[in-house]
Homo-oligomer: A and B are copies of this chain.
Amino acid sequence: MAMELKSLSAQELEREKARLTEEYEAYCAKNLKLDMSRGKPGKDQLDLSMDLLNVLNETSDCTDENGMDCRNYGVPAGIPECRRLFAELFEVKPENIIVGGNSSLNLMFDYISQCMTHGVDAQHEPWSHQGKVKFLCPVPGYDRHFAVLEYFGIEMINVPMDDNGPDMDLVEKLIADPLVKGIYCVPKYSNPGGITYSDEVVRRLAAMQPAAEDFRIMWDNAYCVHEISDTPDELLNLYAECVKAGCPDRPVMFASTSKITFPGAGVSAIAASENNVQAILHRMSFQTIGHDKLNELRHVRYFKNLDGIKAHMQKHAALIRPKFAAVNQILTEELSGLGIADWKLPNGGYFISFNVMPGCAKRVVALCKQAGVTLTGAGASFPYGKDPDDTNIRIAPTLPPVHELETATKLLALCTKLAAVEKLLEQA
């Protein structure tokens, strides 16, 4: 059955629909309850970091390398050894780092909030005083980024992604509007596309001339060391490029150990220019007396340095590689040649971006749901939840065990075919 479905006659399609429906009903009878909706690490991945919990105990010296007692108040920018660890990760200097709590999303939300109410720094007006400000959103993208922008009433403009990153011709056109205040990027193993921005895209992001002086690139490097393949993608250092281009304040970069150690109890960080760091620390000086320094200490003593993190990430890769491979294999077996779906096995990250026939994504997700498999809602990877072509589905393969994943993927392939046949019959 490697024939393109659209070449089938109406009669053949009806026959195919009956066959697929029967198969689908058999799935429904199984009372499945599987979840491929969110990019959560599996239990086996969480088990990798259990020794982190042994790092500190009642006999531990809890002082940082400056002699500060990490149990007590203070040190809002983070303890020096933890700033140094993240500096290695971001390829910047320790003074460009602020260590946060357990959530980089929280750091990003708070940063957008700060820009709205107080501006990017003391030299610039709050965004909320400047009119209806806008953000560029490479699509498909991460639903939680879009949700933060929507919460603050920031208008979102779709910018299509290709295999090199966002369409830079369009970006360079759109930034002529001084109300366009930023662009929200996942530059390595993008969520959900798995795309890593090319060197040229990174250089153009650094070299472009936004009309807004207070333009910011929200650079969510969530998957910076999250490899799957043995041939990792390489991402150019945006900050270094911006320094060269004379716009060091443009990027504000984020990462966390959520998918390195524990999503519930990791450490997050910001990397940015001295000016941005100062503006953020100024706001934080009102907001908190400091983040959890014992958890900073735990992480830095556990990993020691970037090599320690990378060695640890290889263990994650070993666990999730078979899951990505299983999804890819089943999709290939079930769908290749049918002309109704495309996807790409990424070199890293947490997702497979799966495109079905235009107008079918919602139907596929609904069919899966009805049969007991929860996927991320169709449209979620677009601002306002609106996928203009109703084509994109985000697959998150990490959480379920392989056998569940296989069942869920087979069902997904089946629903993809069923929805396509339905659509083709409508159009026939």
Stretch at the interface among A102-110, A202-210, A372-380: A102-110
A264 and B288 form a contact (CB under 8 A): no
B105 and A288 form a contact (CB under 8 A): yes
Residues of B within 8 A of A144 (CB): 286, 289
Identify the closest chain B residue to A50 (Cβ): B58
Judge whether A423 is part of the interface by a CB distance below 8 angstroms. Answer: no
What is the bound-complex CA distance between A222 and B14, given in angstroms? 69
B105 and A294 form a contact (CB under 8 A): no
B101 and A263 form a contact (CB under 8 A): no
Q: How would residues 390 to 407 of chain A score, 1 for a CB under 8 Å from any chain B CB and 0 otherwise?
A: 000000000000000000
B51 and A58 form a contact (CB under 8 A): yes
Given A58-B50, A295-B265, do A109 and B287 touch, yes or no (CB 8 Å)? yes
A106 and B288 form a contact (CB under 8 A): yes
Q: Which of B59, B128, B289 contacts A263 (CB 8 A)?
A: B289
Given A105-B289, A265-B294, A293-B264, do A46 and B71 touch, yes or no (CB 8 Å)? yes
Residues of B within 8 A of A262 (CB): 71-72, 294
Say how far A69's CB is from chain B's closest CB, in angstroms. 7
Stretch at the interface among A15-23, A147-155, A334-342, A351-359: A147-155
B109 and A117 form a contact (CB under 8 A): no
B43 and A264 form a contact (CB under 8 A): no
Say how far A164's CB is from chain B's closest CB, in angstroms. 30
Residues of B within 8 A of A56 (CB): 53
Say how far A72's CB is from chain B's closest CB, in angstroms. 5
What is the bound-complex CA distance between A148 and B117, given in angstroms? 13
Residues of B within 8 A of A289 (CB): 103, 105, 144, 263
What is the bound-complex CA distance between A263 and B294, given in angstroms? 10
Identify the closest chain B residue to A106 (Cβ): B288
Judge whether A41 is part of the interface by a CB distance below 8 angstroms. Answer: yes
Say how far A157's CB is from chain B's closest CB, in angstroms. 20
A292 and B101 form a contact (CB under 8 A): yes
Scoring A49, A71, A74 by chain B CB atoms within 10 A of each residue's CB, the highest score goes to A71
Scoring A103, A283, A286 by chain B CB atoms within 10 A of each residue's CB, the highest score goes to A286
Binding site for B on A (CB under 8 A): 38, 40-41, 43, 46, 49-51, 53-54, 56-60, 62, 69-75, 101-103, 105-106, 109-110, 113, 116-118, 128, 144, 147-148, 151-152, 258, 262-265, 283, 286-295
